Amino acid sequence: MITLVRVDNRLIHGQVVSTWIPHLKIDKVVVIDDEAARSPLMQAAMTLALPPDLAVTIAARGTVDFAALEKSSERILVLVRDVAVAEEVVKQAKVDVLNLGNVHFGEGRKPVSPSVFLSEEEVAALDRIAAQGVQIEARAVPTDHRVGLEELRARYRAAS
């Protein structure tokens, strides 16, 4: 079952490995990212940090069997690089929670948390995702205070 979908530009890294995986008791990590799927170097770097008994799949967009993930008895963490890919995942799979962990600053993006910067288009995408019944939260680690979509919208509007 898909336990959590997380948007994080860094995909697999120390924060995910040391906090999210043990907190959620994850059995398998699925990374959906075209660049990582094409790069053996990126794959090696990301999987080096994982415990050897943790299953990992690094796949290109459009190649993941979401029905199999949903039916699995494994607790699965899905990692994507950006909100657009998260929206694709939500269209194809049952997702209860979308976590915004790290979205780097970029042109047209405004800060909504210390580690999340969103564009107007991304806020609209989050609204569409929430309309599918998905809980949206921003927090870097499980012990952080959850910031929900309503607060993210307010922070986006207030940001200069």
Residue-wise pLDDT tens digits, 66-109 = 999 999 999 999 999 999 999 999 999 999 999 999 999 999 99
pLDDT at residue 49 in the model: 79
Q: How many domains does the chain have?
A: 1
Which CATH number covers residue 66?
3.40.35.10
pLDDT at residue 141 in the model: 96
pLDDT band at 19 (very low <50, low <70, confident <90, very high): very high
Q: What is the average pLDDT score of the chain?
A: 96
Helices (H) and strands (E) in the chain, counts: 8, 9
User: Domain range for residue 34?
Assistant: 2-158
**Poorest-pLDDT segment among 3-12, 48-57, 60-69, 73-82:** 48-57
pLDDT at residue 114 in the model: 94
Percentage of residues of the chain with pLDDT beyond 90: 94
pLDDT band at 160 (very low <50, low <70, confident <90, very high): confident
Which pairs with CB-CB distance under 8 Å and at least 24 residues apart come from 33-40? Answer: 33/58, 33/60, 33/61, 33/79, 33/80, 33/81, 33/85, 34/60, 34/61, 35/81, 36/11, 37/63
Whether the pTM exceeds 0.75: the reply is yes
What does the block give as tokens for 81?
């690089």
Phi, psi angle pair for 31, to nearest 5°: -100, 125
The pLDDT of 16-33, averaged and rounded, is: 97
Q: Dihedral angle at the C-alpha atoms of 60, 48, 83, 95, nearest 10 degrees? A: 80
What does the block give as tokens for 20?
């999210």
